[in-house]
Amino acid sequence: MPTAMIDGLEVSYATRGAGPALLMLAPGGFDATMEKWTTAGVWKGMRPLDSLSGEFTVIAYDRRESGASGGRIEKLSWSLFAEQAKGLLDHLGVTRAFVLGGCMGCSVALAFAACFPEATHALIFHWPVGGYRWKLNGADRFARHLRFARENGLAGVVKRAHEGKSFWQDPEAGPWASAIVRDQRFAGEFQSQDVDRYLGIVAASARALFDRETPPGAEPEELMAMKVPALIIPGDDPAHATSGAHYLRELLPQPEFWPVMPPEQTPERVRDRILEFGRAHKSIGA
């Protein structure tokens, strides 16, 4: 896979196809890798990097702190993730794109549209995260890591990360587990940093990312100002509460809410609905 240096971090990415740019913000929580587009949920049967590339120029990547991309110890936020996505578009010379988010990628998409409206052609949300259970679960993951780091120290965190599971699979390993395993130098710097400062960064990241029951990523006033078409495909489980999708429908000015619920959302139907949306809005703002 090709790589790019974005804000000092290596980013592994892939492009394929032809047509309008489609920036794909991966599902998978804090394991947001390109692989998830072939292994997670509906995407496993749909394989969107292939099935959408006939009508879009598909742009996918491993988000920072995930997969083959690098990481850095700093307060994590949705806008920080969005800045990385915009940096990749700049690297590729893409000025405007359809933005598709899956799961937590929907919140990165919301932050992207809020921060970079001029680069947002249209929005596609598949199973936006939200709901009280989702908020509790996300906050609990960070709390578990904080307890583990206090009790075992940063050397213990490094050892735990090398057990080979991501933060989403093993909260004790922490948000930087993938970067620790991937980069020996990063692991050394991680272990030697000031532990109190690190614990503060983790706590601040948790508050920034999991501060509400509705889909995070942008404030309500910012949502109401997103004057681009938005396709909303609702989820229906504890991590993707249907209420989150309705919240987006309520606030976004140009929502297209797909009134089809799981399990009727087959890979073929989801693919066709995304392609239909792309065709209908292909020339808007071009």
Residues 6+ away with beta carbon under 8 Å from 278: 20, 22, 52, 55, 56, 98, 122
User: pLDDT (tens digit, 9 = 90+) per residue, 90-131?
Assistant: 999 999 999 999 999 999 999 999 999 999 999 999 999 999
pLDDT at res. 196: 97
Do residues 44 and 125 both lie within one domain?
yes
Considering only CA atoms, give the Rg of the chain.
Answer: 18
Specify whether 125 is located in the same domain as 224: yes
Give the pLDDT band (50/70/90) at residue 41: confident
pLDDT tens profile 181-203:
999 999 999 999 999 999 999 99
| Domain stop point among 158, 187, 209 | 209
The total number of structural domains that make up the chain: 2
- The more confident residue out of 30 and 122 is 122
Structure tokens at 285: 């703002």
Taking residues 6-29, report their average pLDDT. 96
Co-location of 82 and 111 in the same domain: yes
Q: Where among 172, 187, 209 does a domain terminate?
A: 209
What is the reported pTM? Answer: 0.96
Tell me which residue has tokens 């209420």.
243
Query: Domain range holding 250?
Result: 3-131+216-280
15 pLDDT tier (thresholds 50, 70, 90):
very high
> Are 137 and 124 contained in the same domain?
no
Express each pLDDT in 131-173 by its tens digit.
999 999 999 999 999 999 999 999 999 999 999 888 989 999 9
Within a domain: residue 122?
yes
Q: Are residues 125 and 139 in the same domain?
A: no
Tell me, what's the pLDDT at 286? 37
For residue 1, what pLDDT band results from cuts at 50, 70 and 90?
A: confident
Output the pLDDT for position 285. Answer: 37
Is the domain of 139 the same as that of 101? no
CATH of the domain at 29: 3.40.50.1820
